[in-house]
A and B are shown apart, each in its own frame.
Chain A
Amino acid sequence: GAVVSQHPSRVICKSGTSVKIECRSLDFQATTMFWYRQFPKQSLMLMATSNEGSKATYEQGVEKDKFLINHASLTLSTLTVTSAHPEDSSFYICSARGDAHQGYTFGSGTRLTVV
């Protein structure tokens, strides 16, 4: 079945630094990647949608200059949290979908803690 690998699974960083999260589709071409954020005991909130080779579409209220998304290939998308602050601490999850794979496959998530 379709597999999406997300790294790192956990990261602790200092306030003001940047963190990059990678999401790779291992056995299918992901034409579309979705990035979600989830706070404790809350549901997944869509942050942005990225299509390979084009700029990401951000949801209302999500700062595109703070959450940089790159989807340069059909198997890799990255989310960079720039100048991280404690309020950015959250669980970030990617989801991938391809033309030949119509379902939504989730990565295992990244627990970000900003101290």
Chain B
Amino acid sequence: GQNIDQPTEMTATEGAIVQINCTYQTSGFNGLFWYQQHAGEAPTFLSYNVLDGLEEKGRFSSFLSRSKGYSYLLLKELQMKDSASYLCAVREVFSGGYNKLIFGAGTRLAVHP
């Protein structure tokens, strides 16, 4: 089975930095994804980590430690439009190459002026 945990809600101030953590316990780990989802819309891809370390992409960075089963998404220079849910998702690979993407419950981020 799998278990993916992330905080339910977070608040932050416009212009600040926020870190959203995700811990996971899965078998057949083959990468971790972060998605942003606004209410009523489909998720949009933010980042992907398969090796340990930090991946930076503009205002967003994502970190992975496979030995600790831990990842975080770092958002810098927060903007009001960053208010959304952030979903941590783990890809599991099974025998025969069958794979699936399993999502955590998501973290609702509210950015205030």
Contacts and interface: CB of A to CB of B under 8 A. Distances in A.
A and B form one complex: yes
A109 B45 CA distance: 15
Given A43-B87, A103-B45, A91 B101 contact: no
Question: What class of interface size applies to chain B in its complex with A?
Answer: 10 to 19
Interface in B14-43: 33, 40-43
Contacts of B42: 6, 93, 106-109
A38 to B, nearest CB: 9
B101 A43 contact: no
Question: What class of interface size applies to chain A in its complex with B?
Answer: 20 to 34
Given A42-B105, A43-B87, A103-B48, A49 B41 contact: no
B87 A44 contact: yes
Interface of A: 6, 32, 34, 36, 41-46, 49, 57, 91, 93, 95, 103-109, 111
